[in-house]
Amino acid sequence: MAANVEIKQEPVEGVDLETRIINLCQQNPSGINEETIKDDMPQFDVKQRVTAINRLLSTGRLEIFKSGSKLIYRIKDGQSTNSQLKGGDNQEKLVYQIIKEAGNKGIWIRDIRYKSNLLMTQLNKILKNLESKKLIKAVKSVAASKKKVYMLYNLEPDRSVTGGAWYSDQDFESEFVEVLNQQCFKYLQQKAITAAEGKSDPVAQKNGSYASSSEIWTFISKLGISKVQLAVEDIETILDTLVYDGKVEESFLEAQSGDRKRLYRSIKPLIETTGLMRMPCGSCPVVDQCREGGVISPLTCVYMKDWLS
Amino acid sequence: MSKCKVELAYQILKELHGEVVAEIARHLMKFGPRHIKLISEVTQLRVNQIKKGICILIQHNFVKFDRNKKGVTEYAINTDAVSLQLRYPRYIYCAKTLYGDAAELLVEELLQNGQSLMSIASERVTQRLNEALEATGNPKITSSLVRDKFGLLVKTHFLRRCQTVLTDDENRVISSEEPKETESLFILPPLEAGSKRKRNPDGSGPPSKRSKMEEMDIPPDDGVYWMINVERFHQYFRDQLIINCVNSKIDKQAGEIIRNMLRLSEIKTEPHSTVSATMTITEIFHSLPKELGMTKHIVEQYLSILTEDSVDVISKVCDSSGGLYVINIFKVLKSLCQAHIESFVQERFGSKCLRIFRVLILKKHLEQKQIEEYAMIPTKEAKELLYNMFAEHFITLTEISKTVDHAPSRTYYVFRVNIDQVARIILEKCYKAAGNAIIRRQMEVAKHKRVLDKQERVDAIIASLDQAGADEAQKEEIKETITPPEKEQLERCRTTVNMLEQSEIQTDETIFIIETYLYYSLLNTPIK
Ligand code: SF4
């Protein structure tokens, strides 16, 4: 009976053993030996261990080294790809390696060529190959619209490549930015009004009008105007544009942990439209050519005429 | 001297004193100090005309004269003073709000005549006031009351004596100068009735006045001429700007505090210094009128808000005795000037441009790429906006090459904003705009001259009928001679003229702020 049970359980435990060995290897990146495995999971016998290790080795998930008289097992990187790369030649592996080093910033085809010293035609073929195997992918960069960069298939492209939340297919979403800009401002304005109504003490009034960037982030997220998930930093960039617009002021709050919290509040404009701009000459495009007796003259000016009637 | 400013000054003079005077003034503005012969040669005007014209200009304190090395008298014009006429309505209004109707009329009287004796000005104002009072059935006032007002205006430095004249050995007036002691500008002459002096044989007072005066009674204060002190008015306007700035930035209460701080430090502050004299928190608190009902705690709070504010209205300079504060006059002016510039950019180029403009002010210098990122404007659009502003010199571009060959690919292109330069550009536009408004206004008046004249005649007739005690029906009849279309025309003309006059005054407000800022900025640039 007991034997029966054991036979039935073996495959289960076998798989279990394999994952546990992998885990163990991950914890010790420098490698493990027989002893470590034995200490860690004494419930398995030698035979079970050997089969498991053999299987791992044959599927290419583990590497085996010799250190002194002992054998060391270590995780083999890029385990899954390695098997797929098997069919490819050394050049393919080289290109793959170069692209991998570039990380999620990607690498431009010309730079791959420099590094690999391959001919363009050859390189193109290899890249196509790798792409079709879904090992790498080409991503269009926002920095230069015609430039494609390559990176590993499973990587999320860096912000500098995609442009972050503000781009969809390399197009900058001006309108989206403007909408967010207005929404943030509305929120801050409302906050300032509530603060001014609620409190009589001037300092409390001022402090009440501030909102932290995460507060505004929550508000915007709840509004549901954004299709993409925005980070607090994204909202901060938007809030900065409001600061540049001169509608909002920024301030910092030193938290106990030492990091700074960014606070924002809407401010009232210092002046109304300046006096000059309340007559047509202020924004006149031909003011430099305008003179008494000239072709353009205040006596015959159409802007004046429209404005005065 | 800026071309547009000369043009503006010319237009103003032409309107008030006629073409000849304006022509002489324009000549002097363009070429600097000259003697009469030379003016006459170039302008083709008769010497006699020029003499009269210059008299008028001297009377209004626009022209000064001096004898050059060869012993010929040369005349120099002060363009600023001429263009200040645009601001006269504001001076008058300011006197009215501060010291009432008599002061208003006194200032008006002095502005109209350029300079005048205290006795004469007061006399005339009393007359005018009494006429108005009589018409409304109120009792008359005495001239001593008006004279007291005059004294008050002098005491508060809104009025000052004219420059003292210099004479040569033969007692001929050759020049004038500011007295060494500023205080002597504000000393009132003895004015008791009956203390009529003999006319000084050496005759002081500008030559233009003298001949006229000889035939009249000699007033007790003969020779002591007065004019308005524009600097004092400007200082008042400046303070008002600072208060308004705080009013709109924070609130009315904070504005009141600043108003009192300005009053407190007024006398102690050096003229044109960038910061006011220091004052303690106790001083500030005690200077506040009780009606405001502010506790010391609230005042403290407001002071701390004002210190922390981005405009930097006041600073705490020292912690002793509860804190010493100063008002940062220059900083407020700078913020205000910047606000006006920004308002211009916003209206002229749009809000996206304003954002770029402000990014550049805040970050000093940037490449186009950085601008796009900060302002969150896509490349193509940013390029266009930058170009728009660049074309009008609102932003400048500096090339910084990495290599000696200045190849574009190895060069940084850095954009900047130079506030003072932009301020000057806008100032120039203001002069132009104000000049254009005057030209247009004159044209509108000329266009409707016939109807306007008719209206005037009708008014005159009605007034005389009134005096003769005519009945309503008669007056009605006269009134009806103006037809409905004519009435409409008059109405339209009136609104047009009003609009244009309004813009002249509003434009002058922009001019005042920018000029004041530039003046301070120039004073405080260290000489390299
Ligand atoms: S008068 Fe007309 S054309 Fe001339 S500056 Fe003014 S708006 Fe422009």
Judged by CB atoms closer than 8 Å, whether chains meet at B340 and A274 is answered as: yes
With an 8 Å Cβ cutoff, are A271 and B344 in contact? no
Contacts of A76 (CB under 8 A, 6+ apart): A60, A61, A62, A63, A82
Where does chain A have alpha helices with state H? 2-27, 34-40, 46-58, 79-85, 90-101, 109-116, 120-132, 159-162, 174-198, 202-208, 213-223, 232-245, 302-308
Contact A202 B253 (CB under 8 A): yes
Q: How many CA atoms lie within 13 A of B280 on its CB side?
A: 7
Written as one letter, the residue type at A37 is I
CA distance B509 to chain A (A): 6
Report which protein residue has its CA nearest ligand 1's atom 2.
Answer: A301
Half-sphere exposure of B517 (CA within 13 A, CB side): 27
Compare all CA atoms of chain B with the CA of A251 and give the residue at the minimum distance.
B310
DSSP code of B71?
Answer: S
Q: Is the pTM of this model over 0.95?
A: no
Q: Which pair of tokens denotes residue B276?
A: 């006011």
Cα angle vertex B359, ends A270, B425, to 5°? 70
Label residue A177 left, alpha or beta by phi (over 0 means left) and psi (-120 to 50 means alpha).
Answer: alpha
For residue A203, give the chain B residue with the closest CA.
B301
For B96-147, give the secondary structure using H, E and C. Answer: HHHHHHHHHHHHHHHHHHCCEEHHHHHHHHHHHHHHHHHHCCCCCCCHHHHH
Two structure tokens written together for B367: 């490449």
Q: Which helix (H) or strand (E) holds B463?
A: helix B449-468
Per-residue pLDDT reduced to its tens digit, A270-287 = 888 888 888 898 888 888
Q: Tell me: the pLDDT tens digits for A98-155? A: 888 888 788 888 888 888 888 888 888 888 888 888 888 888 776 666 678 888 887 7
Q: Which of A177, A274, A303, A304 to mutate to test the interface with B (most CBs of B within 10 A)?
A: A274
A235, A272, A279, A301: best mutation site toward chain B, by most B Cβ within 10 Å?
A: A279
8 Å CB contact between A77 and A105: no
Domain A14-75 fold is Arc Repressor Mutant, subunit A (1.10.10)
Q: Which residue has its alpha carbon closest to ligand 1 atom 6?
A: A281
pLDDT recorded at residue B9: 92
Nearest CA to ligand 1 atom 7: A281
Q: Which amino acid, residue B156?
A: T
CB count in 10 Å sphere of residue B177? 11
Query: In angstroms, what separates the C-alpha of A155 from chain B's closest C-alpha?
Result: 25
Q: Among B343, B362, B376, whose Cβ lies nearest the Cβ of A274?
A: B343
pLDDT on residue B233:
92
Place of tokens 């924070």: B250
Say which of A277, A299, A308 has its CB closest to residue B343.
A277
Low-confidence ranges of chain B (pLDDT < 50): 193-215
> Does any CB of chain A come closer than 8 Å to the CB of residue B256?
no
Q: Are B302 and A202 an interchain contact pair (Cβ–Cβ within 8 Å)?
A: yes
Select from A292, A302, A304 the residue to mutate for testing ligand 1; criterion: most ligand atoms less than 8 Å from CB: A304
Domains (range + CATH), chain B? 3-77 (1.10.10.10), 85-195+219-228 (1.10.10.10), 233-327 (1.10.10.10), 332-417 (1.10.10.10), 423-524 (no CATH)
* CA B420-B423-B424 angle, 5° bins: 90
| Closest CB to A276 among B248, B379, B429 | B429
Write the residue in A270, A273, A279 that is nearest to B437 by C-beta. Answer: A279
Chain B nearest C-alpha distance from A103 (Å): 24
Phi, psi of A284, rounded to the nearest 5 degrees: -75, 130
CB contact under 8 Å between A274 and B344, yes or no, is yes
What's the first-to-final CA gap in chain B, in angstroms? 23
For the record, the structure tokens of A130 come out as 């790798």
Burial (CB count within 10 angstroms: exposed 0-12, middle 13-18, buried 19+), residue B276: buried
CA–CA separation, A102 vs A108, rounded Å? Answer: 9
Of the candidates A226, A243, A250, which has an alpha carbon nearest to the alpha carbon of residue A177?
A226
Q: What is the mean pLDDT of chain A?
A: 78
Q: Which residues of B touch A234 (CB under 8 A)?
A: none
User: Cβ contact (<8 Å) for A237 and B436?
Assistant: no
Chain A interface mutation, best of B3, B251, B343, highest count of A Cβ atoms under 10 Å: B343
User: Largest Cα–Cα distance of chain A, in whole Å?
Assistant: 118
| Chain A residues whose beta carbon lies within 8 Å of the beta carbon of residue B506 | 275-276, 278-279
Residues of B in contact with A233 (CB under 8 A): none
DSSP SS3 for B243: helix
Calculate the alpha carbon distances from B325 to B252, B253, B286, B313 in Å. 20, 17, 14, 10
Domain A79-162 sits in CATH 1.10.10.10: yes
In sequence order, what E strands does B131-258 have? 159-161, 164-167, 173-177, 225-228
What's the DSSP call for residue A88?
A: S
Residue type, B126: T
**Dist. CA B352 → ligand 1 center (Å):** 25
Decide if A241 touches B, using CB distance below 8 A: yes
Strand partners, A148: A140
A173-278: CATH topology: Arc Repressor Mutant, subunit A (1.10.10)
Give the pLDDT band (50/70/90) at residue A219. confident
Tell me whether strands B116-117 and B173-177 are parallel, antiparallel or unpaired. unpaired
Measured CA to CA, the distance from residue A223 to residue A234 in angstroms comes to 15
How far apart CA A274 and CA A29 sit, in angstroms, is 69
Domain ranges of chain A: 14-75, 79-162, 173-278
* pLDDT digit string, tens, across residues A237-256: 888 889 998 888 888 877 66
Cα–Cα dist B344/B68, whole Å: 45
Nearest chain A residue to B356 by CA distance is A244
Distance from CA of B8 to the nearest CA of A (A): 12
Residue contacts between A and B (CB atoms, under 8 Å): 134
Round to whole Å and give the CA distance between B492 and B488: 6
Asked if residue A3 has pLDDT above 70, the reply is no
Q: At what angle do helices B230-249 and B88-113 cross, to 10 degrees?
A: 170
* Pick from B245, B339, B355: CB nearest A244: B355
Question: Which residue out of B249, B384, B429 would a mutagenesis test of the A interface target, given it has the greatest number of A Cβ atoms within 10 Å?
Answer: B429
Q: Do A277 and B344 touch (CB under 8 A)?
A: yes
pLDDT above 70 coverage of chain A, percent: 83
pLDDT of residue A20: 79
For B351, what's the count of Cα atoms within 13 Å in the CB-facing half-sphere? 11
* Model pLDDT for residues A48-106, shown as the tens digit of each residue: 888 888 877 776 677 777 777 777 887 766 544 555 566 567 788 888 888 888 887 88
Contact (Cβ atoms closer than 8 angstroms) between residue B375 and residue A238: no
From chain B residues 330-359, the ones with a CB under 8 A of any chain A CB are 335-336, 339-340, 342-344, 347-348, 351, 354-355, 358-359
In degrees rounded to 5, what are phi and psi of residue B144? -65, -30
> Pocket around ligand 1: residues whose beta carbon is below 6 Å from it?
A 280-281, 284, 286-287, 290, 296, 298, 301, 303-304; B 436
Q: Residue B324 in 3-state DSSP?
A: strand
Beta carbons of A282 and B305 less than 8 Å apart: no
Looking at residue B90, its pLDDT comes to 92
Is pLDDT above 70 for A182? yes
Of B96, B98, B57, the closest CA to residue B106 belongs to B96
Structure tokens at B265: 């430090």
- Residue B226's nearest CA partner among B303, B113, B148 is B113
Rounded distance, CA A161 to CA A6, Å? 55
Closest residue on chain A to B446 (Cα): A299
- Per the CB < 8 Å rule, is B340 touching A177? no
